[in-house]
Structure 1
């Protein structure tokens, strides 16, 4: 009796492996896409919560400056109109018209919406730190665009936060765009 496999047995095994791979790979890619969408929506929720909490803190302080410094920073001015600052548990956050400001990451200034929402592992992350955590963030004219850096098309796997341009108006957060996730 010969030891080993016949050609037919080998072909059957190869066919089974090929069929399993053909079925499993698209499902695996779909799971990755769903994970990116879920992560993006989670970050969008954090931005919404951060903006709401900062606004509520400013309203509760009625525009009155804090008497003591915020951690190692200066005292917050708690301005509801125009540019200002608010004290959070991690430090000062820049505000515009009562909501977190859109601040370019990595600048020496105080953080805005990214710090208020806790995006990243540090309070005022650099673009490199955000990239390492899977984010592509850009700021232009008061609008912060947050995208998944690992998406097939990051611009189509994103949402925007726009600071209010006038007093007594709310910040806006766009729905998530997920066509390129």
Structure 2
């Protein structure tokens, strides 16, 4: 007779069950590590963009641009104090004291590829923007916060990423 016996089938299923029991927690840990890595990557991008915007504002010393910004959305005023605008490769960015302003429409120059909506949520209120992983167990605890500059003598701040809820 050809085929497998019930004992052979039971042994094979038992081995598969043991492998699944060992591998499933490891796979969950790998997914968590990937979420943390991507959150830290986004943190680095935002930190770099904030620094570049501030450096560009410093270099331009409040002198308005002569030509409209890319995309034709207006001409930057490059103000170092108060609300202003700055032209970047990503387009016109709203600023406050030479740093990106934390507004609901602020993109920080991020593209949909860098911050896909199925992975990230952004909440802006009271001069702060919170970047959260939408696919985390606790998005609030898998996030970082950008706080806009309070005045011309204070720098904008970016918190260390929270990863306890990833």
TM bracket, shorter-chain basis: over 0.9
- The answer to whether the 8 A contact 1:138-1:144 is kept is yes
- The answer to whether the 8 A contact 1:130-1:137 is kept is no
Q: 2:4 corresponds to which residue?
A: 5
Q: Using the alignment, how far apart are the partners of 2:141 and 2:9 within structure 1?
A: 44
Q: 2:93 corresponds to which residue?
A: 93
Q: Using the alignment, how far apart are the partners of 2:127 and 2:116 within structure 1?
A: 19
**Superimposed CA distance per residue, residues 56-99 of structure 1 (whole angstroms, 9 cap, x where no aligned partner):** 00000011111111121221000011100000012110001110
SS in 1 for 2:56: helix
TM-score w.r.t. the length of structure 1 is 0.86
**Superimposed CA distance per residue, residues 74-130 of structure 1 (whole angstroms, 9 cap, x where no aligned partner):** 21000011100000012110001110011114xxxxx3xx333x25249xxxxxx95
| Deviation of the 1:11 alpha carbon | 1.4
- The answer to whether the 8 A contact 1:40-1:148 is kept is yes
Name structure 1 gaps, 5 residues minimum: 106-110, 123-128
Which range moved further: 92-101 or 7-16?
Answer: 7-16
Q: Using the alignment, how far apart are the partners of 1:10 and 1:69 within structure 2?
A: 72
Moved over 6 A (4+): none
Name structure 2 gaps, 5 residues minimum: none
